[in-house]
Structure 1
Amino acid sequence: MNRRSFINKSVLTASASLLPLSFWNSLDSEEFTIEELTGKANTKFYGNGYLVRKEVNEAFIKMQAAAKKENINIQIVSAYRGYKRQKQIFNAKFTRFTHQGLSEIEAINKIIEYSTIPGTSRHHWGTDIDIIDANATHPKNVLLPKNYELEGVYYKMKMWLNEHSEKFGFYIVYTNNPNRKGFYPEPWHFSYRKIALPMLKAYQKIDIHKIITNDTNLKGRNFLSTAFIDRYKNDNIFDINPALLQ
């Protein structure tokens, strides 16, 4: 489905079917609180200039050290991001896009090309990282797909990650599979599978629509119907790298 028509269709159509319960029952279970899953908990995080869970940090340091042997200096530019910060990002973009002339629906549609609705970001979990190569000459905007493609400044790092990242437990989330829906490809976004997998399973069980729409300070919330959220969950949250689903 064309991403730019995503919201208009989701508001008008019935909710998409969620992944079957048998799928989730096949995963290893672990309990996580709603606060942890939505970026509202006071979880203890680790990192040097970034915040992730302890095991994620240890795995990242090992991967970073291995890459340095190939003259690649993997640097995290974004890791844990709480609900409050995600809402600031969402509201700021909503205001900017509507001031530029987009309707409320169009603004939300534009936002979710790359950014999540607060309470739905994998960055809330402390398992996901956005990375660049600190040894490269950085462009003005570092997190652009072209920077990771052939002749891009981070292409060497991306090729190394394609071969080695999974050995350290990190998997790309939003692939360039043309059949994938939801967020645009993000060659910089990796997730630590061992912890992110059970967190995604736990996330499926919570009433995210209620959590989102109860926030009266979230701009555009009146357009986030139950049908919209169901489709958003299927397309943006669960239509990801299959390796992060099983």
Structure 2
Amino acid sequence: MKRKKFIEVSALGVIGLSSVSFADLQSSISKKDLMGKGNPVLVGEGYKLRKKANQAFSKMKSAALQQGIKLKVVSSYRDYAHQNRIWERKYERYLASGLSPIKAIEKIIQYSTIPGTSRHHWGTDLDIVDGSVKQPRDVLLEKHFHNGGPFSRFKTWMDHNANDYGFYLVYTNKKGRKGFKYEPWHYSYAPSSVPMLKEFRKLDIKTELQKAVLMGSTNFTSKFIQKYLNENILDINPKLL
């Protein structure tokens, strides 16, 4: 077979496989899965991911280990109930500190999602640090990942290699980005999370959130929800849209 013809056929084959994979993933995604109320098939040792995401993470983990970096998962899949426990704990704490309900919610959504809207519901996202170094008291702080912090070498390695395995930082430090604050530990497996987000955007999140029985949910006005969707859910790394 001539080289040009071989390349054309090969390319078509790859496109075909990608289309089938994408279609299969779409057909298997339910509203319950997207909102953390389903029962997805998850795998992993000490963490939970969808199969393809776990396969890619395992390869990335092995590559990092060869450089003396031990990828340690701090958080992976969270169901709706788990996210709601985080929400309630923070909501009660901020109210007790003297914040009004809406100010408490604004404080929470600097880093934590409203239950039902978390990317961690999808089994595609991970909070990762370097387990080969002495662990600071609170591992998920920006200062630990820069300027000689304990996870600086990890961050540098991830900056240069994570994309090769399909993982992208979700909440970047790009100037002008809104929504959740910069999280140098939160990575998403794009081949699976991109179609998940596309399906999530088809949901009537406004109705879902307004009917949810959540602490403070009476403050979920139409204006608040639209702003939350535009900034917290969609103002992310463009590679994940």
Relative to the length of structure 1, the TM-score reads: 0.87
SS of residue paired to 2:187: strand
Question: Is residue 96 from structure 1 mapped to residue 83 from structure 2 by the alignment?
Answer: no
Over residues 49-87 of structure 1, what are the superposed CA-to-partner deviations in whole Å (9 max), with x where a residue is unaligned?
110101111110100000011100011110000111101
Sequence identity of aligned pairs in percent? 46
Partner of 2:226: 230
Q: Secondary structure of the residue that 1:232 maps to in structure 2?
A: helix
**Inter-partner Cα distance in structure 2 for 1:205 and 1:172:** 23
Q: Give the counterpart letter for 1:228 in structure 2.
A: F
Q: 102, 113, 120: which is aligned to 1:116?
A: 113
Secondary structure of the equivalent of 1:132? strand
Alpha-carbon shift at residue 227 of structure 1 (Å): 1.4
Per-residue CA deviations over 1:25-57 (Å, capped at 9, x if unaligned) read xxx662321001000001110010110101111
Which of the residues 64, 67, 72 maps onto 1:70? 67
Structure 1 stretches lacking a partner, 5+ long: 1-27
Structure 2 residue 238 is the aligned partner of structure 1 residue 242: yes
Letter in 1 for 2:230: N
1:215 CA drift (Å) = 2.2
Q: Aligned residue for 2:149?
A: 152
Q: Give the CA deviation at 1:209.
A: 1.9
* Distance in 1, Cα, partners of 2:143 & 2:172: 14
Q: How far 1:91 sits from its partner (Å)?
A: 1.0
CA distance in 1, matches of 2:96, 2:204: 32
Q: Is the partner of 1:123 in helix, strand or coil?
A: helix
Deviations 1:136-186 (A, max 9, x none): 111100000001012110000100000000000000000001210000000
Structure with the greater relative contact order (CA < 8 A, sep ≥ 6): 1 or 2? 1
Q: Number of residue pairs matched?
A: 217
Give the equivalent residue in structure 1 for 2:178: 181
Letter in 1 for 2:217: R
**Structure 2 residue aligned with 1:127, among 124, 129, 139?**
124
- What corresponds to 2:199 in structure 1? 202
**C-alpha displacement at 1:211, in angstroms?**
1.6
Q: Which residue of 2 aligns with 1:170?
A: 167
Letter in 2 for 1:116: T
RMSD: 0.9
Amino acid at match of 2:189: Y
Q: How far apart are the structure 2 equivalents of 1:80 and 1:130?
A: 10
TM-score, length of structure 2 as denominator length: 0.88
Could you say what secondary structure the match of 1:60 adopts?
helix
1:60 aligns with 2:40: no
Aligned AA (1:108): I
- Asked which structure has the greater CA Rg, the reply is 2
Q: CA deviation at 1:213?
A: 2.2
Distance across 2 between alignment mates of 1:93 and 1:182: 18
Q: Which runs of 5+ in 2 are unaligned?
A: 1-21
SS at match of 2:123: coil
Runs of 4+ in structure 1 off by over 6 angstroms are none
Q: Matches of 2:35 and 2:103 in 1, distance apart?
A: 25
CA distance in 1, matches of 2:90, 2:154: 30
* Distance across 2 between alignment mates of 1:76 and 1:243: 22
Which residue identity does 2:231 align to in structure 1?
Answer: D
